[in-house]
Structure 1
Amino acid sequence: MNGLSNHNSDTNMVHIILIPYMAQGHMIPMADMASLLASSGAVVTFITTPVNAARIRPIIDRIENSHLPVRFVQLPFPSAEAGLPAGCENVDLISSPGLHKPFMEALSIFGEQVKLYLTTKNPTTMPVDCIIFDSKNSWVGAVAESLGIPHIIFYGPSCFYILCSHLLKKYQVLKSIEDDYKLFKVPGLPEPVEVMKAHVMRLMDRPGWEKVSEEFYKTEKSACCVVMNTFEELEMSGLDKFRKEIMKEVWPIGPLSLSNKDLDSMAMRGKACSIDTRLLLSWLDSKAPNSVMFVSFGSLSRNPISQLVQIGQALESASSSQLSFIWVVKEAERSEEVENWLAEFEERTKGRGMVIRGWAPQAVILGHLAVGGFMTHCGWNSTLEAIAGGVVMATWPRFGDQFVNERLVVDVLRIGVAVGAKVPTLFVNEMSEKALVKGEEVRKVVEKVMQGGEEGDERRKRVRELAEKARKAMEEGGSSFENLKRIIQFAKGENKHLERGK
């Protein structure tokens, strides 16, 4: 209970519970949020499970060593009760598509553990003033309402994606579209873009997920207000439209990655790094500005070796003589075939390339002046880190919100180039030949992103302007800084009219 007992007698402190969704890309920004709230006058309890706590141990250690009033509570996860393998407590530990639904059912059962914890009389625990929960934890709404606790929904994806999903449901667009790969415009968007049904169809909107979907939308409506990991200056028109649509306060407090100021904090944003950060920085320091392409596809996506070979060929054959690269290849951890191929690839590209097997300090890499491009899956955390670092993106979405984020990056913000992926994938054994992108196409995009010219210079200029706005948003007096203060005010009961979503 690090740091909490010293604050229990302070009546000016508010107690906020954070309940993240159990996926690395959801837990990391919420841990950042915990630090920011604790630095702004709140006592924070971060509820997770033993396996997930172990997976973000570097973050927990850093926060506990800072002596901020944050407590990390580990409650048992009902894997066995839901028919999951032991230890399956995180989305990226799901080994087959058929386990997605049992995982969601386990989350609902986990809600009973959370309710028991919140109702247990403990003299060292402050009363709960507010719960902030990830939108995927739809079970929180019923728990919070049964205990009379105001609750705020946290959306991890971009506002652009959340608004698209809202408008598609509102106008029932998908019901009339039969072709999964036919382009259509999303009605009501401030910046009209074209998407495909295959790219916006959510898992919970599919047959068999009706109960999950019903609970999600019910909780969405019951939440008092909304917190988002974005910033006003990045998505101003979308945020304004979303506020009018849901008629609730929407508080963007990002980019949350910028809450990590020093090198160690940036490096420990996630799991333990698979490379020595200072060795990595020394290598980057030896490279010219904007000469390094960083390639990483997030914590969930995996490439079959056939796709890895194509990416490798693209990086190896890119025409710029100055082009260097850092490539995160998580697949090598579990595949001898991949490891054998990588060893030969590394030998051929010695000096030009660095391969990281496992977890990379992404925020550190993207913040270095040598990095001029980022090939990304368009997960929102990665997209925001690229924007905060002022780095142009080569976009290669895989699933979920990523295809819509690509449209924001490429069509609206105009700070990225699409690799050309069309078929959504999640598990390696689902990646068909149709989903593969040829090395020649990848090479062309790498060169387009890394080389200059009027178009390339304009992209780089735009993303650097956004990087500056992102930094200012998080500084004292900035838009995200002020929104964080509004959350504290709400928890103190200074915005009573917002409670229960009234």
Structure 2
Amino acid sequence: MVHFMMIPHQFIPHIAPMMHLADRLAACEGVTCTIFVYEKLLEGLPTDGLRDGVQFHALPPSKEPLSLWNPLASGEALGRVVNEYFDKELLGAGGGIEGKPQYHCLISDLLLLWTVQAAARLQIPRYILCAMSAFSLLMRLHSPRTEEDKARPKILHWPNIIPGPLISNFFATNPNASGVGATFINRSANESAGILENSFSELEHESMAELQRMGLNMIPVGPLSSSIVPAKNFKGHSNENYDDVGDECLKWLDEQPPTSVVYVNFGTTGFNKFSTEMVHELALGLEGSQARFLWVLRPPPGLSAEEAEQVLPSGFEERVKGRGLITRGWAPQLQILEHRATGAFLMQGGWNSTLETICRGVPFIAWATFADQPTNVKFAADGAKLGVMLPSRDPITGIWLKVDKHVVENGIRLVLSSEEGKLIRKNVQNMKVVAAKAVSPEGSSSRSLMSFVKGLQIAEEHRHTELPN
């Protein structure tokens, strides 16, 4: 019997893969998983499709607000809540409280460094789930961490992973930002027993091999996917609920020719790094491409109700009427990606969305703006040739480039109607098959996951046999 304590960062892009991992682990005999989630977030999570071995522990609310833009502080606040639970419920004066859950392994989000001490308190091994690509983790571990490093960033060469050189601060949204985040993640990775990577060997073998050479125990377990999808009433990190427009979207797609539609969705928080000007350039690029499109639109934050209504260029919706559907509601992303009419996915490049589009054989067009997005799509576009990254970042200088309507238009035309686009489509269709095989019962990720669980089970058996009578 192995009981996993699973602690994700409390953002849906981090909670979802942890849930998927728990669902996969619970398929193994003798495995139970308990996921720690704030009670308020748990109310909106879809738990009906989970296996019986998956359960949740509802955490009381943190006294500090959950901030998407300060994930390290939000993670530390989560640590204070969890450690209070440890003190009250798990760890008594004698080292434990009779009748309380016994955990054998802690699986933590990469961003939660405090779980190093938490695992030590519980005297159990700590593994981390990496919700970004292996290549992004590799880049992050080479990011500048000191003022000297930032002043003289390294030029990195991995020709077996990605063509051409990259500057070491390519990962950072702000190349002049503090190196605290890079140091934090470096410690979190290196002070773990292993890294459960949400990717698969056939896609990222070289990146994971490079991480292995750096001394990390890489365990590919992806793509993490199941029947679990975010509930329609899940607010994520928005203050709004959205109306369900799934039927409208799917009915409209039914009327479109095969592989003709660009699906545009930057997620509930995707436009947080966008200005109204950037939204205008995106809209005008869609218009100029002459392509059909389905756009799930979320306005940038900080706008008044009147400004939000006017976030699109004047007359845009009228000009594209008939070939473009713009909705501001909740749309069923996986069903849209699986629809025969969908020909490309225009997104920001979070790893969850990147894997979702790869696993459904749909090429992507990515406008990456923050966090791990630039390196996720740099690898997936330039390394694996599965989509197109709009040139928003200079790979050598790290300088952010202006993405305008012409860049958007050219990216759409390349994917939908060029010879290069045909090759991309062929590559992503092939990778769809490979990804499905990786998580099949005899696939590479399934074998890797089973080996991980078996190793813990054997270790637990040895621990019991070595205990004094």
Q: Could you say which residue in structure 2 is the equivalent of 1:83? A: none
SS of 2:293's partner is: strand
C-alpha offsets along residues 35-77 of structure 1, whole Å, 9 cap, x if unaligned? Answer: 11122232110001123323xx2423x24xx562222112124
SS of 2:127's partner is: strand
In structure 1, what is the Cα distance between the partners aligned to 2:79 and 2:173? 19
SS of 1:364's partner is: helix
C-alpha offsets along residues 291-326 of structure 1, whole Å, 9 cap, x if unaligned? Answer: 01011223433222211111111112213xxx2111
SS of 2:36's partner is: strand
**1:321-400 equivalent positions in 2, closer than 5 A:** 323-331=291-299, 335=304, 336-342=306-312, 344-400=315-371
Q: Check conservation: 2:133, 2:198, Cα contact below 8 A.
A: yes
Q: Check conservation: 1:266, 1:364, Cα contact below 8 A.
A: no
Q: Are 2:203 and 1:237 equivalent residues in the alignment?
A: no
Amino acid at match of 1:480: S
Q: Could you say which residue in structure 1 is the equivalent of 2:34? A: 45
**1:471-490 equivalent positions in 2, closer than 5 A:** 471-490=436-455
Q: Could you say which residue in structure 2 is the equivalent of 1:74? A: 58
SS of 1:233's partner is: helix
Structure 1 residue 395: deviation in Å? 1.9
In structure 2, what is the Cα distance between the partners aligned to 1:492 and 1:238? 28
Task: Call closer, same or farther: CA 1:205–1:232 in 2, change over 3 Å.
Answer: farther
Q: Could you say which residue in structure 2 is the equivalent of 1:29? A: 17
Tell which deviates more after alignment, 129-138 or 195-204: 195-204
C-alpha offsets along residues 406-427 of structure 1, whole Å, 9 cap, x if unaligned? Answer: 2212211112222221399xxx
Q: Check conservation: 2:196, 2:221, Cα contact below 8 A.
A: yes
Q: Could you say which residue in structure 1 is the equivalent of 2:46? A: 59
Tell which deviates more after alignment, 412-421 or 338-347: 338-347
SS of 1:27's partner is: helix
Q: Could you say which residue in structure 2 is the equivalent of 1:500? A: none
Q: Could you say which residue in structure 1 is the equivalent of 2:409? A: 443
Task: Call closer, same or farther: CA 1:103–1:266 in 2, change over 3 Å.
Answer: closer
**1:168-247 equivalent positions in 2, closer than 5 A:** 168=143, 175-176=148-149, 178=151, 184-186=155-157, 190-201=161-172, 206-207=177-178, 209=180, 216-247=185-216
SS of 1:152's partner is: strand
Task: Call closer, same or farther: CA 1:40–1:390 in 2, change over 3 Å.
Answer: same
Q: Are 2:444 and 1:465 equivalent residues in the alignment?
A: no
Task: Call closer, same or farther: CA 1:189–1:349 in 2, change over 3 Å.
Answer: same
Structure 1 residue 387: deviation in Å? 0.6
SS of 1:421's partner is: coil
Q: Check conservation: 1:199, 1:400, Cα contact below 8 A.
A: no
Q: Check conservation: 1:231, 1:473, Cα contact below 8 A.
A: yes
Task: Call closer, same or farther: CA 1:140–1:253 in 2, change over 3 Å.
Answer: same
Q: Could you say which residue in structure 1 is the equivalent of 2:286? A: 315
In structure 1, what is the Cα distance between the partners aligned to 2:75 and 2:230? 31
Tell which deviates more after alignment, 358-367 or 20-29: 358-367
Q: Are 2:220 and 1:252 equivalent residues in the alignment?
A: yes
2:108 aligned residue (125, 133, 139): 133
Q: Check conservation: 2:90, 2:97, Cα contact below 8 A.
A: no
Task: Call closer, same or farther: CA 1:193–1:378 in 2, change over 3 Å.
Answer: farther
Amino acid at match of 1:393: F
Structure 1 residue 234: deviation in Å? 0.6
Q: Check conservation: 2:111, 2:188, Cα contact below 8 A.
A: no
SS of 1:127's partner is: coil
Task: Call closer, same or farther: CA 1:353–1:187 in 2, change over 3 Å.
Answer: closer
Amino acid at match of 1:410: A
Structure 1 residue 356: deviation in Å? 3.0
Task: Call closer, same or farther: CA 1:124–1:43 in 2, change over 3 Å.
Answer: farther
C-alpha offsets along residues 329-368 of structure 1, whole Å, 9 cap, x if unaligned? Answer: 1117864323245595334323322223254322222222
Structure 1 residue 19: deviation in Å? 0.4
In structure 2, what is the Cα distance between the partners aligned to 1:267 and 1:155? 19
Q: Check conservation: 1:24, 1:270, Cα contact below 8 A.
A: no
Q: Gaps spanning 5+ residues in structure 2: where? A: 236-241, 463-469
1:403 aligned residue (371, 374, 382): 374
Task: Call closer, same or farther: CA 1:114–1:131 in 2, change over 3 Å.
Answer: farther
Q: Check conservation: 2:249, 2:331, Cα contact below 8 A.
A: no
Q: Gaps spanning 5+ residues in structure 1: where? A: 1-12, 81-87, 425-431, 498-502
Structure 1 residue 217: deviation in Å? 3.9
Q: Check conservation: 2:279, 2:311, Cα contact below 8 A.
A: no
Amino acid at match of 1:254: G
Percent identity (aligned): 27
Q: Check conservation: 1:274, 1:356, Cα contact below 8 A.
A: no
Q: Could you say which residue in structure 2 is the equivalent of 1:455? A: 420
2:263 aligned residue (277, 294, 299): 294
C-alpha offsets along residues 183-226 of structure 1, whole Å, 9 cap, x if unaligned? Answer: 933469654543345522488995483xx766654443332111
Amino acid at match of 1:281: L
Q: Could you say which residue in structure 2 is the equivalent of 1:14? A: 2
Amino acid at match of 2:202: E
Task: Call closer, same or farther: CA 1:496–1:293 in 2, change over 3 Å.
Answer: farther
C-alpha offsets along residues 154-206 of structure 1, whole Å, 9 cap, x if unaligned? Answer: 1111111112233457xx899456478xx933469654543345522488995
SS of 2:120's partner is: helix
Using the size of structure 2 for normalisation, the TM-score is 0.84
SS of 1:30's partner is: helix
SS of 1:457's partner is: helix
Q: What is the RMSD of the two structures over their aligned residues, measured on CA atoms? A: 3.4
Q: Check conservation: 2:172, 2:370, Cα contact below 8 A.
A: no
Q: Check conservation: 2:35, 2:55, Cα contact below 8 A.
A: yes
SS of 2:14's partner is: helix
SS of 1:493's partner is: helix
